[in-house]
Amino acid sequence: MMSFFDEQAVTSSDKAFFRMRKEIVEGEIAAGSKLSEMELSTKYEVSRAVVREAINRLESCHLVERKANVGARVVTLTPEGLMELYQIREALEGMAARLAAQHMTDSEIRDLEGLLSSQFDEVKNQHSYYQEAGDLDFHYRIILGSKNASLISMLVNGLYHLVRMYRVQLGMAGPRVTTAFDEHKHIVRAISNRDPELAEILMRRHIQYSKNNIATKLASNQSHF
């Protein structure tokens, strides 16, 4: 369990891409820093061509920005940027929930309910790991349940790594466990009732709450300095 898209690296560029993405998302390569093709190719012991290809793919994930004849830099993180991403998440995942209510199979919905009740036990027993992995699992299933291939690709391959980068590096790993769990429950109920309208509304509110939660944290973080 817990592996949705086992994107396995077949080529060298794949490996370089995955590795660089990990290092960028987790801050090992600093936000805003320049990506020197030469430097990286010696560091990873591959040719410049594969580094270039990896950088191109990072650019299409919006993790780095490239200027012709000048080079690529890791995107710089701003609170506004994170808020913008949450606006997009609200729109896309709201639609995903709507579609999931229409297109998920009965057995997929039962699995989703099962996931939730197993998570309920964990939360009750104070296994606090819920927030990160559990929340992600829940959202992934609904995204996949939309059965909209383009939407799935946009969210899974693109947006989520960006969001994760922001959350890791701006220190937004906070809990918000208990209320989020109830929100998940209501979303699943709407889906199992085959109520697309409500599923979308609830998902959007769920993401708005997350966004507000993060916004206040960002504000308090800034006031500490």
Partner DNA sequence: AGACTGTAAATTGTCGACAATTTTCAATAT
Partner DNA sequence: ATATTGAAAATTGTCGACAATTTACAGTCT
Q: Which residues are near its own copies by CB under 8 A?
A: 10-11, 14, 49, 52-53, 56-57, 59-60, 62, 68-69, 81, 84-85, 87-88, 90-92, 94-95, 99, 148-151, 153-154, 162
The residue among 147 and 189 lying less far from its own copies, judged by its C-beta, is 147
Residue 29's alpha-carbon distances to 73, 110, 161, 219, in angstroms, are 10, 41, 15, 25
Task: Note whether 19 binds DNA by CB under 7 A.
Answer: no
CA 198 to centroid of chain Cα atoms: 23
Q: In angstroms, give the least distance from the CB of 32 to DNA.
A: 15
Task: Note whether 68 binds DNA by CB under 7 A.
Answer: yes
For the chain, the helix, strand and coil percentages under 3-state DSSP, each to the nearest 5: 70, 5, 25
Residue 140's alpha-carbon distances to 5, 34, 93, in angstroms, are 10, 32, 10
Task: Note whether 46 binds DNA by CB under 7 A.
Answer: yes
The residue among 61 and 191 lying less far from DNA, judged by its C-beta, is 61
Distance, in Å, from the CA atom of 172 to the CA atom of 186, rounded to the nearest integer, reads 24
The listed partner (DNA, its own copies, none) that binds 155, CB under 5 to 8 Å by sort, is none
Of 7, 28, 30, 48, the one binding DNA (CB under 7 A) is: 48
Q: Number of helices and strands (H, E) in the chain?
A: 10, 3
The residue among 64 and 97 lying less far from DNA, judged by its C-beta, is 64
The residue among 59 and 111 lying less far from its own copies, judged by its C-beta, is 59
Supply angle C-alpha 104, 107, 110, rounded to 5.
95
The listed partner (its own copies, DNA, none) that binds 38, CB under 5 to 8 Å by sort, is DNA
Interacting positions 161-180 with DNA (CB under 7 A): none
Residue 200's alpha-carbon distances to 147, 163, 167, 180, 195, in angstroms, are 15, 20, 24, 16, 9
Residue 33's alpha-carbon distances to 51, 73, 74, in angstroms, are 16, 5, 6
Task: Note whether 123 binds DNA by CB under 7 A.
Answer: no
The binding site for DNA (CB under 7 A) comprises 11-13, 34-38, 46-50, 52-53, 66, 68-72
